[in-house]
Amino acid sequence: MTGTLYLVATPIGNLQDITFRALETLKTVDLIACEDTRHTQKLLNHYAIKNRLISYHEHNEMTRAEELAEYLRQGKSIAIVSDAGTPAICDPSFRIVEKANQIGAKVVSIPGAVAFVNGLIVSGLPTDSVFFGGFLPSKKSERIKRLEEVKEIPATLVFYETPHRIEKSLADALEILGNRKAALARELTKRHEEIIRGDLAEIFSYVSGNQIKGEIVLIFDRKSNESKRLDVNKAGTLKSRLTELESEGSERKAALKKLAKEFGLSRSEVYRRLLIE
């Protein structure tokens, strides 16, 4: 008989967020395949679990999946864990699950934490219909294209993002999605957990003035008839404010950057509006 493949969810921060079933599975399987053996070893040490670890990550997934499938053919049981959260959610697992299904091995999910779900439910945004898009693309052109693809979806939009790209991604989201309601959740379940709620312009302004760290979940409200871009005329035209900043001694580049922050727009949107005003 073939063995069993267990997909075991692990904590996304707080080590107490693990189930009794997950701990029992990690104790009793023949092998634990994980993204980073050092990271998973800390979890096992915390719960005094001694078991064999083997690496299984995006760089060796193709070859390792076949090796793990052979273990399953021999009747061995394997637990797959990611560094944090649920395996296969923006983490490796697809290949081994595919192999396990092909050879007729049993595949069992051991449920637990998943970051985008936790970010969503504390955001205060609708949860009746949800689109999860994983990580936004790192290249601006691809990110813009992705946001254009999803902006009309009648569902709350959820993405992961990294600290070094968050400001650029929020600027692009504001430009493409409009100034809709949103939330930013970071360091979920950890000591410095923070949930920022508001409209996109407010969140962009907050991020622009602060150094954001940790794992980030972005949540955007669905498009509605009330969703519209900022009315820049409420604070005067961009051109008049640009003239004012330059008269105060700001160089053009610095003035444009300040304009973008003040009006909650991306710099590219500021350029565009200045050309048509």
Structure confidence by residue, pLDDT tens digits, 11-31? 999 999 999 999 999 999 999
Q: What is the mean pLDDT of residues 132-146?
A: 96
Burial class for 261, CB neighbours closer than 10 Å (0-12, 13-18, 19+): middle
Residue 237: per-residue pLDDT: 67
- Give the integer Cα–Cα distance in Å for 183 and 199: 8
Q: How confident is the model at residue 269 (pLDDT cuts 50, 70, 90)?
A: confident
Say which CATH architecture domain 115-220 belongs to.
Answer: 2-Layer Sandwich (3.30)
Q: With contact defined as beta carbons under 8 Å apart, do 68 and 48 qualify? A: no
Would you list the domain boundaries of the chain?
4-110, 115-220, 232-276
53-55/106-110 β-pairing: unpaired
* Architecture of the domain whose range is 4-110: 3-Layer(aba) Sandwich (3.40)
Q: 89 with 9: CB under 8 angstroms?
A: no
Q: Average pLDDT over the chain, rounded to whole? A: 90
Please list the alpha-helical segments (H only) found in 104-237: 115-123, 140-150, 166-177, 200-208
pTM value is 0.78
Compute the residue count for the chain.
Answer: 277
Determine contact, residues 26/32, Cβ cutoff 8 Å: yes
* Cβ contacts of 74 within 8 Å, gap of 6 or more: 3
Confidence category of residue 168, pLDDT binned at 50, 70, 90: very high
Judge if 4-110 and 115-220 fold alike in CATH terms: no
Average pLDDT of the residues in 108-114:
97
Say yes or no to pLDDT of 138 above 70: yes
Q: Which residue has the tokens 């407010």?
A: 202
> What are the strands of the beta sheet with 31-34, ordered from one edge?
53-55, 31-34, 78-81, 4-8, 106-110
The CA distance from 140 to 143, in Å, is 5
Q: Which residues contact 182 (CB under 8 A, 6 or more apart)?
A: 125, 173, 197, 198, 199, 200, 203, 218, 219, 220, 221
**Encoding tokens for residue 173?**
């989201």
Per-residue pLDDT of 48-96, as tens digits, reads: 999 999 999 989 999 999 999 999 999 999 999 999 999 999 988 999 9
Q: Convert the pLDDT of each residue in 201-248 to its tens digit.
A: 999 999 987 889 999 999 999 987 443 444 444 334 678 878 888 888
- Position 254 scores a pLDDT of 84
pLDDT over 90 (residue 39)? yes
What pLDDT score does 235 carry? 38
Cα separation, 138 vs 27, whole angstroms = 38
Local confidence band at 261 (pLDDT 50, 70, 90 cut-offs): confident
- Alpha-carbon distance 245 to 255, whole Å? 6
Helix (H), strand (E) at residue 99: helix 94-103
Indicate whether 116 pLDDT > 50.
yes
Q: Are 188 and 113 in contact (CB under 8 A)?
A: no
Q: Coil, strand or helix: which one is 60?
A: coil
Which among 175, 173, 168, 189 has a CA at the least distance from the CA of 221?
Answer: 173
Other CB atoms within a 10 A radius of the CB of residue 11 amount to 18
Q: How far apart are CA 39 and CA 11, in angstroms?
A: 12
**Cα separation, 193 vs 114, whole angstroms:** 15
